Amino acid sequence: MSGHAESEDGLLALELAMPQELGGRGQGTNPEQLFAAGYAACFHGALALVARKMRVDASKATVTCAVTLGRDPADGGYKLATELKVEMPNSERETSEQVVAQAHQLCPYSKAIAGNIDVKVAVV
């Protein structure tokens, strides 16, 4: 995998490259990084919406997403896994956990991968 990806409007333009872990030179972005960025952004949007409806301050909330690529024991191919870490410093932990759980139910990325990709979601 190598090449160039660009959005129609030109705002996104980047080189694609195989990660070093898979034998590439790692001199570019890989699909797992793009997925992680998209998922984190989407989840943050869902989090903000849920927090606003619950009247919870999520103005300083951050969402970090890590995507890993591992072997799929079912067919020997590859399989993605994700881990979302959410920080909500202006909210009590229990409230944060409620907001995050509802955001996970609302987020289009979470819905799209439900049952297909291992997902860990944690309030940190």
State the CATH number of the domain containing residue 107. Answer: 3.30.300.20
Q: Domain for residue 20, yes or no?
A: no
- Containing structural domain, residue 99: 30-123
CB crowding 28-67: b at 16 or more within 10 Å, else e: bebebbebbeebbebbbbbbbbbbeeeebebeebebebeb
From first to last of the 124 residues of the chain, give the pLDDT tens digit: 678 999 999 999 999 998 877 788 878 899 899 999 999 999 999 999 999 999 999 999 999 999 998 889 889 988 999 999 999 999 999 999 999 999 999 999 999 999 999 999 999 9
Domain-embedded: residue 8: no
Q: Is 24 part of a structural domain of the chain?
A: no
Domain annotation covers residue 18? no
Asked if residue 36 belongs to a domain, the reply is yes
Residue 102 lies in a domain: yes
| Residue 39 is assigned to a structural domain of this protein | yes
CA angle 73, 78, 79 (to 5 degrees): 80
pLDDT at res. 1: 64
Is residue 103 one of the residues assigned to a domain? yes
Q: Domains in the chain: how many in total?
A: 1
